[in-house]
Amino acid sequence: MAIITVKNLMTQFGSHIVHEGLDLEINKEEILGIVGGSGSGKSVLLRTIIGLNKPKSGSINILGEELLDLSDQGLLDIQRHWGVLFQNGALFSSLTVAENIQVPMREYTHLSAKMREDLAYLKLNLVGLSANVANKMPSELSGGMRKRVALARALALDPQILFLDEPTAGLDPIAAGAFDHLIYDLQRNLDLTVVIVTHDLDTLFTICDRVAVIVDKKVIEGTLAELLKIDHPWFKAYFHGPRARHLSRDKENGN
């Protein structure tokens, strides 16, 4: 069942057309990876779906609502049903970790201060951080911890959909693997729909149920097995390149 349907999307900056006639369906409770070359418009697509960027034409249906027809208030109401993890975390630098996680709760709920605090600690625990980072400032955290805190903030209102922009970029392979694992666990336990924009082939091969590839301003989506068979120079270069080869071999062997 589709939770997000993008139809005939066209985005344009000045005279530069980023997407043209782009269709994309994202199913409920799946992990979808969005890949594509640098500058192919992965992040633009993500920003368009979450309403930060207005497309030239097309329709985006998300959680049964037509995104482009929504009023400002309607957009605010629907935004609480998704959480977004930006590439560098985008934690508010003037707030502590705990305050950062509480920001959406303050804005959207009437929870007591004690409950908010408890929930902030709970989210920290869910993303695998201990309570003693709660009073630190974002600048005191390492890159991996910052991403985890940002994930905790994205999960603050228990959203149905989680958008992740390059979640493993800038992490070492061990931290990246652990972060992939964390996303997978949370997705399975909380029944999340997860949309990941990524360059990380490991993420694609280990946790994504389906993959959407942006080539020639359009999206080609399918499971990895389907995409691996496509006879297109870009696909060949991407999925059969030296970096991907050993991963796909592992996958075939069932590892």
Partner 1 sequence: MFFETKSQKDQLDIALIGPWTVAQLAEIELALEQLAWSKYQTITINAEQLTILDTAGAWLLKQFIEQIKSAKKTVNLLNIHPKQASIYHLIEPIQLEEEVEKPAGSAFINVIVRLGEGAVNAFKQMLLLLSFIGQVCVTLGHVILNPKKIRLTSIIRHMDETGINAIPIVALMAFLTSVVLAYQGATQLRQFGAEIFTIDLVAISILREMGVLLTAIMVAGRSGSAFAAEIGVMQVNEEIDAMRTLGLNPFEILVVPRVLALILVLPILTFVADMTGLLGAAMMSILLLDITLTQFLVRAHAAVGLWTFGVGMIKAPFFAFIIATIGCLKGMQVTGSAEKVGEMTTSAVVQAIFVVILADAIFSIIFSKMGI
Q: Facing residues of 214 across strands? A: 36, 219
Smallest gap from residue 38 Cβ to partner 1 (A): 20
Query: Interacting stretch for partner 1, rule CB under 8 A, among 17-25, 48-56, 58-66, 152-160?
Result: 152-160
Tokens describing residue 108:
């959207």
- The residue within the footprint of partner 1, chosen from 27, 53, 109, 248 (CB under 8 A), is 109
Separation between Cα atoms, residue 143 and residue 141, nearest integer Å: 7
Burial class (CB in 10 A: 0-12, 13-18, 19+), 114: exposed
Smallest gap from residue 130 Cβ to partner 1 (A): 7
In the bound state with partner 1, the residue whose beta carbon lies nearer, of 134 and 207, is: 134
Separation between Cα atoms, residue 14 and residue 209, nearest integer Å: 35
Phi and psi for 93 in degrees, rounded to 5?
-70, -20
**Does position 95 bind partner 1 by CB under 8 A?**
no
Query: Interacting stretch for partner 1, rule CB under 8 A, among 121-129, 169-177, 194-202, 233-241?
Result: 121-129
Smallest gap from residue 223 Cβ to partner 1 (A): 24
- The residue within the footprint of partner 1, chosen from 115, 240, 241, 245 (CB under 8 A), is 115
Separation between Cα atoms, residue 29 and residue 6, nearest integer Å: 17
Chain residues 186-205 in contact with partner 1, contact rule CB under 8 A: 189-191
In the bound state with partner 1, the residue whose beta carbon lies nearer, of 69 and 140, is: 140
- The residue within the footprint of partner 1, chosen from 95, 126, 178, 228 (CB under 8 A), is 126
Chain residues 62-91 in contact with partner 1, contact rule CB under 8 A: none
Q: Give Cα separations from 111 to 32, 79, 185 (angstroms).
A: 33, 19, 27
Question: What is the full DSSP assignment across 30-56?
Answer: -EEEEEE-TTSSHHHHHHHHTTSS--S
In the bound state with partner 1, the residue whose beta carbon lies nearer, of 18 and 119, is: 119
CA 97 to chain centre: 21
- The residue within the footprint of partner 1, chosen from 125, 142, 226, 243 (CB under 8 A), is 125
Separation between Cα atoms, residue 221 and residue 165, nearest integer Å: 18
Contacts of 252 (CB under 8 A, 6+ apart): none
**Does position 12 bind partner 1 by CB under 8 A?**
no
In the bound state with partner 1, the residue whose beta carbon lies nearer, of 156 and 207, is: 156
Note the residues at the interface with partner 1 (CB under 8 A).
93, 105, 108-112, 115, 118-119, 121-123, 125-126, 130-132, 134-135, 139, 155-158, 189-191
